[in-house]
Amino acid sequence: MGQNFKIGCTNCNYEENFSIGIGMLYRPDLLLNFKSEMNPLPSIIGSKKTLEEIRKLTEKKDVTIYGEYGFDVYRCPQCNHFYERFTIALKHTDGLFVAEYECPRCKMKLEPMLVKDKLEEEKHDISKYPCPICGKYSLEQRFDELVMWD
């Protein structure tokens, strides 16, 4: 089950909608099986490099999904834009692999906001980040109802 998450600016017309969480199509056995045509990772991991690293790990090592996984909001520390990306960490015999993404605008490493871990809390403090359009610290968030989005 997922949830809609909205970020908007009270100073300008910036607004973004994100679907966060996880759907029923993202079972661990499917995510780690690259031989299956039903594996959703090739369509949801935006980085070819990251996808190839995951594929190699699943072929060579005993791999399990570590911790929570699913869609989350990421932020670029350089240009302040927000993106929806798939968070996943894989534990294997040699350590831990965490999927990383780069900003399509400025190529900086995106920072996960871990919104999905804060769903039970009141709200994630989005106001500490500047608006990617006007630069003012006037962002606000709204959670929508729980939705089935896969």
* Domain carrying residue 106: 2-147
- The number of distinct structural domains making up the chain is 1
Listed in order, strand segments (DSSP E) in the chain are 2-9, 15-21, 64-65, 70-75, 82-87, 89-92, 95-98, 111-112, 139-147
- Say which residue, 145 or 43, is predicted with more confidence: 43
Four-residue CA torsion sign, 108, 78, 139, 131: negative
Is the pLDDT reported for residue 143 higher than 90?
no
Q: How confident is the model at residue 114 (pLDDT cuts 50, 70, 90)?
A: confident
Of these ranges, 56-65, 72-81, 111-120, the one predicted with the greatest mean pLDDT is: 72-81
Instruction: Map residue 128 onto helix, strand or coil.
Output: helix
Confidence band for 124, pLDDT divided at 50, 70 and 90: low
94 — pLDDT class (breaks 50, 70, 90): confident
72 or 119, which is more confident = 72
Name the amino acid, one letter, at 123.
K
> How much is the pTM?
0.85
